Amino acid sequence: MAQSGTRALSERKNVAYRLARQMLDCLLRATAEKFRLGDLDDLDFAPPPANKVVPKLPADKAAYAIRLAYCLAPHFPTLKELVATKAFVTITSAEGDEGAVIGKVLAEIAAKDAGGMALNPTYPLNRHNRFIVLADGTVFFTPDDLRAIAAAGMLGYPVFCVIPSATELPESLTGVDLTLNLPGLTPEMLELLFEVCHDQMPAGVLQFTGATKLKTVDLIAHMRRARPAAVCLDGLQQLARARTTLPALDVIELKDLEGYGEAKVWGLELAEDLKLWRAGHLSWQEVDHRSVILAGPPGTGKTSFAGILAASLQVSLVTTSVAEWNSSDHLSGTLKRMQAVFAEAKAKAPCVLFIDELDGISSRSSISGRYSEYWTQIVNRMLELVTDALRVEGLIIVGATNHVDRIDPALRRSGRLDQVIFIELPDAAAIARILQRYAGPVFPFSQLEALAPRLLGSSGADIERLVRTAKATARRAGRMFSISDLNSEVPDTLEGVLPSTRRRIAIYRNGQRLVAQILGLADMMVEGQNLDLRQLLAKGLSNERFPTEQVCSDVLAVALAGRAAEEIVFGDVSVFGAGTPQSDLAAATAIAMEMETRAGFGEMGLIYLDDITLSSTLSASVVGGVRRRLESALSRATALLLENLEELEAHKRASANTQLRLLN
């Protein structure tokens, strides 16, 4: 039985080889005839010198002819049988192939034996259009194109359509008789390729490894007739090996992520649902985490999250961006690219489709004038594609944006991208854990915790790059990787600052930390850039979705506790926590202003004033109410610190010791 199977496989290979020789001979004869007649305008390369009697074929056309032969041979063993068929056939090309060139090669091969061919014909057909080739199956056919296809079917003419990979067939091409896939290269095909494209046959071509990894563009780059064949083959082999043997990577899974908060929880819940769905215990309609929009500032790792999500779910990742869609000069090109991306995702499901720069699909309400109709068509098509894609089982859509408010509201309605998760830059605790992950278990965690505050404002990618650079510095210096290598790579925000000033800053922050602990707000963000009221409350009071007046007053006390600590320890205050729009005093003023004029907590009573009204009605009474609220918060913070003076003094001594170590 094994010998019988081997013989059958060998025979199939021989049939494909013979058909490939026939096709290549057709191309060579056509090329030679053009040279003989002096018809050089239609050639893909310059004429050879006078002493070169028989021209060679360009590598891309020859490779397409060979691959077509190996694709068609099981169904049409000879060229005669190929042109005599009445079948409607689609041939799906591989990534990187040029459908137009493949169609042209097939049409040129069939032209003589078929007694006439038509490449991308229009209606009406004539008596010479006996072999129909459509070189691009993604086009939107005009009525004349459709009538040409219909006429070919009525007349019994064969139709061969070449379509790109992961492309959904237009409705006009769905009733095919045969669907084929263009195969990748093999060593046997490479041997044929050198025979018709080069003057030499390199030794060892049949021992080539990883030929399927080669793309057409690789052949164009390395198959040079003026270059020794052995050099050509070696260049191709290096490419194939590079794509076949990948370096081992430190795989990061969702459970290992730090600083992603709600996004991490969402991903882990999706992973559990996907397990149940794969096991048949959960229908796809019951999976609620099928789409999400990740929003946040640049550098927060939105793109990385999509890749890690796909890897953790063990599904394919399809990446695209709205900017990529809009790179086309015409609306039709943009719509075509959008459709192709969604078709690829549907073909690869289960998969994650990641769409970056989603705010590029702007809200239609913000667009007017001459471009309104253009963008309306894009938004409408996007809505159709998203709605259709989310019906496909296993297809998950992850969008990313820096400006979620700019996205068309219809795209965020239920049943589409209806969940938005905000990703912020990691806090100090998350930074310490990220440092530990990339640095490895070589340092006490306390050392990394001490380093983390200096990295506030850094993304996970920034931290990974920093650790990699520190390790490389130690390696090149011929020493073991140490904490000093990390310290040297981390910018010192207090570099050049006098020791007395460093001590004042430490006291300021320690006072804030102590009051935060007393009031149960130990998680409140009091380092790095200050945030507006909503962000400040969201950071520090994650469990307080609707903060009361007391909670807001507690936040004010923490924000001003640094100023109180300075007054207690030094007898005066500095401008450290004031003077800029990002300062603690500015944040506290914003909170107090909202309490007075918008939350209904102020001396003005139950009232809400918007920005315009506020600017026109701002009075001494409003300013006075804000000032009195801030002064009350400062007095409260001072009283709390005085009641816990021993702890503040302990912080003071610890701060002094820290500064001494830094100086030493």
pLDDT tens digits, one per residue of 562-609: 999 999 998 999 888 888 887 888 888 888 888 888 888 887 778 877
Q: Residue 539 to residues 61, 185, 217: CA-CA distances in angstroms? A: 61, 56, 51
pLDDT at residue 630 is higher than 90: yes
Please tell me the predicted confidence (pLDDT) of residue 494: 61
pLDDT at residue 511 is higher than 70: yes
What distance in Å separates the CA atoms of residue 213 and residue 106, rounded to the nearest whole number? 23
Please tell me the predicted confidence (pLDDT) of residue 4: 40
102 neighbors 93 (Cβ within 8 angstroms): yes
Q: Would you place residue 540 in the very low, low, confident or very high pLDDT band (cuts 50, 70, 90)?
A: very low
- Lowest-confidence segment of 86-90, 241-245, 383-387 by average pLDDT: 241-245
Which DSSP string do the residues of 233-264 spell out, in sequence order?
Answer: HHHHHHHHHHHHSPPP-----GGG--S-THHH
Place of tokens 């990394």: 448
Q: What angle do CA 453, 459, 462 make, to 5 degrees?
A: 95
Q: Strand 159-163 relative to strand 178-181: parallel, antiparallel, unpaired?
A: unpaired
pLDDT at residue 32 is higher than 50: yes
pLDDT at residue 153 is higher than 90: no
Nearest residue to 297 via CA among 531, 465, 490, 466: 531
Displacement of CA 140 from its chain's centroid (Å): 28
Q: Would you place residue 134 in the very low, low, confident or very high pLDDT band (cuts 50, 70, 90)?
A: confident
Q: Would you place residue 522 in the very low, low, confident or very high pLDDT band (cuts 50, 70, 90)?
A: low
Which DSSP string do the residues of 82-104 spell out, in sequence order?
Answer: HHH---EEEEEPPTT--HHHHHH
What distance in Å separates the CA atoms of residue 544 and residue 431, rounded to the nearest whole number? 24
Cis peptide bond upstream of 298, omega within 30 = no
125 neighbors 97 (Cβ within 8 angstroms): no
pLDDT at residue 528 is higher than 60: no
What distance in Å separates the CA atoms of residue 122 and residue 99, rounded to the nearest whole number? 18
Please tell me the predicted confidence (pLDDT) of residue 140: 46
Please tell me the predicted confidence (pLDDT) of residue 396: 94
The average pLDDT across 80-87 equals: 87
What is the maximum alpha-carbon separation in the chain? 104
Nearest residue to 164 via CA among 146, 137, 199, 194: 137
Q: What's the N-to-C CA distance of the chain in angstroms?
A: 82
Please tell me the predicted confidence (pLDDT) of residue 369: 62
173 neighbors 161 (Cβ within 8 angstroms): yes
Structure tokens at 372: 């309104």
Nearest residue to 382 via CA among 423, 331, 306: 331
What distance in Å separates the CA atoms of residue 544 and residue 520, rounded to the nearest whole number? 12
